[in-house]
Amino acid sequence: MSSKVRLILDGFVKNNPTFVLLLGMCPTLATTTSAVNGLSMGLATLFVLVLSNMAISAIAPVVPDKVHIPVYIVVIATFVTLLQLLMQAYTPAVYETLGLFIPLIVVNCIVLGRAEAFASRNGVIASAADGIGVGLGFTLALTVLGAVREILGSGSIFGWKFIPGDGMLAFVMAPGAFICLGYLMVLFNKYLKKE
């Protein structure tokens, strides 16, 4: 059991998809205009990641080697479509905000990367644990980036406004995304990454 816990914890720091592996940059930059948006995007990716990891680890032994990438992509696309339909039904407002980046989870390199590097050669339970770990690591990174941009850009956090005034608008817009992520990576490199 402890090895499963280890797998989950690894996803947070050692294999953090955003700060260490540099995967899934597009949704990371595009959807983190606020902490809530970052959190929802992270959770959406977590959902697809866990389910596709489990499904792929289950079917991997019978998939011919030559067509494994197309098969994995179809499996992932199926879960993404499922997520799209669920979100349209139950959380239409969130779906509207995240927009294009929900269907684009299909081409998020984190999902296909984990399928290829982990799920295809491990058991279902271990793959689920790996999916949870990496998914939570991604969610954490997105929420932190969203929170920083929300504080600097609009003076609030999770929608709670504690600095009066407009804030620095540039941080909510495109340039702020790149600059904040750059500086967060610097902090991560300096204090958390072990050689």
Partner 1 sequence: MEYFLIIISAIFVNNIVLAQFLGICPFLGVSNKLSTATGMSGAVCFVITLATLVTYLVNKFLLVPLHIEFLQTIAFILVIAALVQMVEIVLKKTSPSLYSALGIFLPLITTNCAVLGVALNVVTKQFTFGGEAHFLNLGESLVYALATSLGYGLAMVIFAGIREHLSLSDVPKAFKGVPIALVTVGILAMAFMGFSGMVK
Q: Using CB under 8 A, list all residues that contact partner 1.
A: 22-23, 25-26, 29-30, 70, 73-74, 77-78, 80-81, 84-85, 100, 103-104, 106-109, 112, 170, 173-179, 181-183, 185-186, 189-190
Q: Which is nearer to partner 1, 5 or 173 (CB)?
A: 173
Using the minimum distance from each CB to partner 1, give the nearer residue, 158 or 178: 178
Instruction: Name the β-bridge partners of 160.
Output: 157
- The least CB distance from residue 155 to partner 1, in Å, is 20
Cβ-based nearer residue to partner 1, 108 or 120: 108
C-beta closer to partner 1: residue 9 or 170: 170
Six-digit token string for 14: 């050692």
- Please compute, for residue 147, the number of CA atoms within 13 A of its CA located in the half-sphere on the CB side: 10
Q: How far is the CB of 164 from partner 1 (least distance, A)?
A: 25
Beta strands in 16-159 (DSSP E): 156-157
CA distance linking residue 10 with residue 161, whole number of Å? 34
Closest CB 175 distance from partner 1, rounded Å: 4
- The number of C-alpha atoms within 13 Å of 68 and in the hemisphere containing its C-beta is 18
Distance, CA of 34 to CA of 93 (rounded, Å): 15
